[in-house]
Amino acid sequence: MAGFVSWLLATISPSEPPKRLNKYNIPLPECCHATLTAETIDNRPVFVVGDVHGCLEELEELLQLAKDEHENPFVVFVGDMINKGPYNIEVLRLVEQMVERGQAAAVRGNHEESILRELWSLSDTDRYALPERYNWLRQLTSKDFTFLQDLPYTISIPSLGTLIVHAGLVPGVHMLRQSLESLTHMRNIIQEEYFEGRGLVGTSKLDKGDPWGSLWPGPEHVYFGHDARRSLQRNGLFLC
């Protein structure tokens, strides 16, 4: 009963969205939930690319394989394009160019959020001590910053019945009421008693709850990344 009440209240479309906060309380993009129309896709095959993490050579190889199969593919990146790998700036600029040319779109992941947190901290004070692992951020331009800041949390492709998100979605919760932290960080779903907690909630912890995809009812097919520890995950309604 508690789960049904949670679902019923959450799926009522809100007339006014609640206040949105992300994990680091940084400014939100102008559009949190983007839509790609059939006209934008223009009958091109869509390739969804997972967490690149600054691995330029592997990305270029993957894009070439896509072009070998289809002359003009459209690519959607599921976030975490940067951080960890050796060529963060090069990957970022490549994705920017593809988006500018109408060849790609992208959502933000938890690593883009981390980068934005550091960039906003740098802009607030000259005395901010940038962690050594983020020294490469000093090479970013205002154009790079704007691109990262404008990345949405989700992309919907209605003509394909598809949603793209970095981490996950809480089933039964209207998109405007989804936790932005969950969209970029969650792996599992925890069920809380509705009148004592919040119903279904996302968590990044693998040892609590169930994989969120196992509870996803559709109808949209969701493509996501982030949860690499579980390796390939797929069924008729999701793919990681």
Domain ranges of the chain: 2-14+21-239
The residue among 77, 148, 150 whose CA lies nearest residue 115 is: 148
Phi and psi based region of residue 217 (left: phi greater than 0; alpha: psi -120 to 50; beta: remaining): alpha
Between 191 and 77, the more confident residue is 77
- pTM of this structure: 0.82
Beta bridge partners of 188: 203, 211
Between 124 and 149, the more confident residue is 149
Local confidence band at 9 (pLDDT 50, 70, 90 cut-offs): very low
Reported as type and span, the H/E element at residue 221 is strand 221-223
Taking the CB of residue 47, how many other CB atoms lie within 10 A of it?
18
**Which of 17-26, 116-125, 139-148 shows the lowest per-residue confidence on average (mean pLDDT)?**
17-26
Stretch 135-163: mean pLDDT, rounded?
94
And the tokens for 235? 């069924």
What pLDDT, on the 0 to 100 scale, is given for residue 6? 36
For the cut 90, the answer to whether the pLDDT of residue 234 exceeds it is no
What pLDDT, on the 0 to 100 scale, is given for residue 11? 39
The residue among 238, 217, 62 whose CA lies nearest residue 162 is: 238
CB 170 within 8 A of CB 202: yes
User: Is the Cα torsion angle 217, 221, 223, 229 positive or negative in sign?
Assistant: positive
Per CATH, domain 2-14+21-239 is 3.60.21.10:
yes
**78-100 tens-digit pLDDT:** 999 999 889 999 999 999 999 99
Which residues have CB under 8 Å from 57's CB, separation 6+? 87
**102-136 tens-digit pLDDT:** 999 999 999 999 999 888 887 766 677 888 888 89
**DSSP track, 49-91:** E---TT-HHHHHHHHHHHHHH-SS-EEEE-S--SSSSS-HHHH
Between 233 and 69, the more confident residue is 69
What pLDDT, on the 0 to 100 scale, is given for residue 201? 75
Between 197 and 114, the more confident residue is 114
**51-86 tens-digit pLDDT:** 999 999 999 999 999 999 998 999 999 999 999 889
